[in-house]
Amino acid sequence: MRRLLKQSTGPLTSELLREPGRFGLGQVPAGMVPDAVTTSICGFCSTGCRLKLHLKEGAAVSLTPDAHYPVNLGMACPKGWESLAVLDASDRVMVPLLREADGSLKEIGWESAIPTMVERFKNIQSRYGKESVAFISTGQITCEEMAFLGALAKFGMGMKHGDGNTRQCMATAVTAYKQSFGFDAPPFTYADFEESDVLVFVGANPAIAHPILWQRVLSNQRTPEIIVIDPRKTETAQSATRHISVKPKGDLWLLYALAHCIVRDGRVDENFLKEHTHGFDDFAAFLEDYAPGLVAERTGLGTEEIEILANLVSDPSKRVSWWWTMGVNQSHEGTRTAQAIINLCLMTGNIGKPGTGANSITGQCNAMGSRLFSNTTSLIAGHDFTNPVHRAKVAELLELDVSLIPTENSWAYDEILSGIERGDIKGLWIIATNPNHSWIDRERFTRLCGNLDFLVVQDMYHSTETAGLADLLLPAAGWGEKDGTFINSERRIGVIRQVRRPPGQALSDFRIFRLLANAWGCDGLFRSWTSPEAVFNIIARLTRGQPCDISGITGYDQLDTNGGIQWPFPAGSFLAIRERRLFEDGRFFTPDQRAKFIFDRPSERLPEPVSDSFPFLLLTGRGSSSQWHTQTRTSKSAILRKLSPGELLLEIHPQDASALGIASHAKVRISSQRGSIVAIAFPTATVQRGQVFLPMHDPEVNRLTHGSFDPDSRQPSYKASAVAIEKL
């Protein structure tokens, strides 16, 4: 493979194959100052820090965090600092590669890669029907790219099914917000971290996963109470004022018990409930069964601890904000758990004011962009595939025949995989995600890919676990090698800039989509989709009249000079303040403008409870602030490698370790019903007895996880699988 890659970069034959960006051809265009500074939003997490890139002869040579950006105020975490280092890796894909009959990969060049992909997918569609080809998208490409991908796949290539890695991550928050507020609308602005008196983090470890947001929390001058609800005593819990070590998946019981106490003690905000919500009376009646004493077994918490917490979060003299991430979203009843948080905010009137909110923090740099523009779960720009008025509006604005827009929702990720299992899906296109590492119960994923007739993977690196399965591998440019926009956790849209030439023949995803549209014969639909900024203007127009209306944004320059702009920003808006939250007027996006109380009885048992054979509950999550997901990028930086553990460590309670005769740093085998893997034991009292923790960054970890899903959001429950531990 390496030998092949070294020979790459034959001459490019067509205009279309040129990366047209400022630095695409390695030249500094006339009029451009060669040694200058430009800015770009970081391409790792959803915090959305802005970096200043220092250019020499038109290409970035170093970077520093931007002191004037309202998000990071001059800070960056190690990943941000190392953003450029990960581009220069020896395993970048330099040229399209096609798998031969003997399993080897052959260099083919774009001139045959694109026609091959088109021919194979069209053959599959003519044999098995249009819906037999599907795509898996991502929260890590730009808004413009994901809009192009979704529109090309569904309106151009006739696909019906497409989902993304945001299903692994944000589907629960999306569903919870849509059902409760009428639109997927995280209400907060980062200033709320500093303006809150009581901050409650549920299943979130920002000290590791969102380090710069955590710095914002630490700069709160109101001597806040910081409460962390997490089975583990994480780095975040250790620096909080209070740690609630709930039993895994005991959150729903706990949140209902808190609501019970608040109702019982008459600490609800009657006025807010009356004016801005509905369904509270039914909820209050439902809560009768959730007295703290009745949930002790489920939550692992004492009555007094719950009563104190209930008082803290309903103190009318305090601004209370709730923040949740994967400990909530990745659960078999995550949607109701997120809504239990929303309910607490509604009943105490903690929404729409400084320092409050039911706030889901997103994960990937552009997860929010994916939620609005990927054309997967929602029709582009937050519309609904099943709504004829929405379809007509999108068709008119995009000047396409309305019959090209699917009238039904796509299958969710796990349903697409079941479709592959049944033989309904025969062709799959995976863009900027590495599911053969990150998908739950990954063995099944690997096996199912064997059922496909043709698998296309579009990635920066050829060494990823998913690239290893590809029939066709398309070389993608990464962050730093293309232009576009990302939307961060507080709905702030910011610009990324091309500051490096992509290696070899690698092209931006945007460019690849253009090539495909052309070869598929549907480029007529995309005549005006000529550059990222042109597409930005198109998708901004599509948002008109939606809660996420950004039709007032005039272009990238405006975003750059204003320090990013949060949605909404309808035409005619002007920017008076840089930090804006939603629902300040108490009006939600439901038809009657009231937020809904939604609740259900928690399930009695975990999808996979521990047993005599598998007596430990395995939690998984982020390991360190220097490791990103499947590590295709972060493992390429010598500095980030030094900052991470370097081996797979199993966190286990010291008493459990000694009961099993396991010494610190001994080799252990961890087994579940699906497989077994080897790790190094790291006894630590940060995990509770009977629980163990593994970071998700090692490709072996998802061999263990149990494939269970939230019924509303179809998000995988990565954080509760039964395992056995044995000394080796």
Residues that bind ligand SF4 (CB under 6 A): 42, 44-45, 47-49, 72, 76-77, 79-80, 210-212
Closest CA to 41 of 15, 63, 11: 63
> Minimum Å distance from CB 453 to ligand SF4?
38
Cβ distance to Mo ion smaller for residue 138 or 543: 138
Binds 175, which of Mo ion, ligand SF4, ligand MGD, none (CB < 5 to 8 A, cut-off by type)?
A: none
Q: Is the peptide bond before 615 cis (omega within 30 degrees of 0)?
A: no
Minimum Å gap between C-beta 367 and ligand SF4 is 12
The answer to whether 510 touches 526, Cβ cutoff 8 Å, is no
For residue 231, the minimal CB distance to ligand MGD (Å) is 5
Neighbouring C-beta atoms of residue 331, cutoff 10 Å: 30
**Residue with smaller CB distance to ligand SF4, 339 or 626:** 626
8 A C-beta contact, residue 382 and residue 143: no
Task: Please provide the size of the chain in residues.
Answer: 728
Point out which residues pair with 55 in neighbouring strands: 60
Neighbours of 523 (CB within 10 A): 17
- Interacting residue ranges for Mo ion, rule: CB under 5 A: 169, 363
Binding partner of residue 76 among Mo ion, ligand SF4, ligand MGD, none, CB cut-off 5 to 8 Å per kind: ligand SF4
Residue 414 contacts which entry, ligand MGD, Mo ion, ligand SF4, none (Cβ below 5-8 A, type-dependent): none
Q: Which of ligand SF4, ligand MGD, Mo ion, none binds 47 (CB below 5-8 Å, type-dependent)?
A: ligand SF4
Which residues contact ligand MGD (rule: CB under 6 A)? Answer: 45, 140-141, 165, 168-169, 202-206, 208-210, 229-232, 234, 246, 248-249, 251, 325-327, 330, 363-364, 431-435, 437-438, 458-461, 464, 476, 478-479, 509, 619-622, 625, 627-630, 632-633, 696, 701-702, 705, 718-719
- DSSP-derived letter for residue 17 is G
Distance CA 440, CA 720 (A): 11
Nearer to ligand SF4, 48 or 349 (CB): 48
Rounded Cα–Cα distance for residues 300 and 671 (Å):
26
532 makes contact, choosing from ligand MGD, ligand SF4, Mo ion, none, with CB < 5 to 8 Å by partner type, with none
Q: Give the alpha-carbon dihedral of 97, 99, 103, 104, to 10 degrees.
A: -30
Helix (H) or strand (E) holding 163: strand 162-164
| The entry of ligand SF4, Mo ion, ligand MGD, none that residue 248 binds, CB within 5 to 8 Å by partner kind | ligand MGD
The partner in contact with residue 231, picked from ligand SF4, Mo ion, ligand MGD, none with C-beta cut-offs of 5 to 8 angstroms by kind, is: ligand MGD
Mapping DSSP to helix (H, G, I), strand (E, B) and coil, where does residue 21 land? coil
Cβ-Cβ contacts under 8 Å for 543 (sequence gap 6 or more): 372, 381, 382, 549, 550, 551, 567
Token pair 């600092």 is at which residue?
81
**Distance from C-alpha of 485 to C-alpha of 73, rounded to nearest angstrom:** 20
Which single residue brings its beta carbon nearest to ligand SF4?
Answer: 80
End-to-end Cα, the chain, rounded Å: 35
Q: C-beta of 215: minimal distance to ligand SF4 in Å?
A: 9
- CB of residue 29 to Mo ion, shortest distance in Å: 37
Q: Find which of ligand MGD, ligand SF4, Mo ion, none residue 48 binds, CB within 5 to 8 Å per kind.
A: ligand SF4
**Angle (nearest 5°) at CA 88 between 494 and 455:** 80
Report, in Å, the least distance between residue 577 CB and Mo ion: 30
CB of 269 or CB of 481, closer to ligand MGD:
481
227 or 542, CB closer to ligand MGD?
Answer: 227
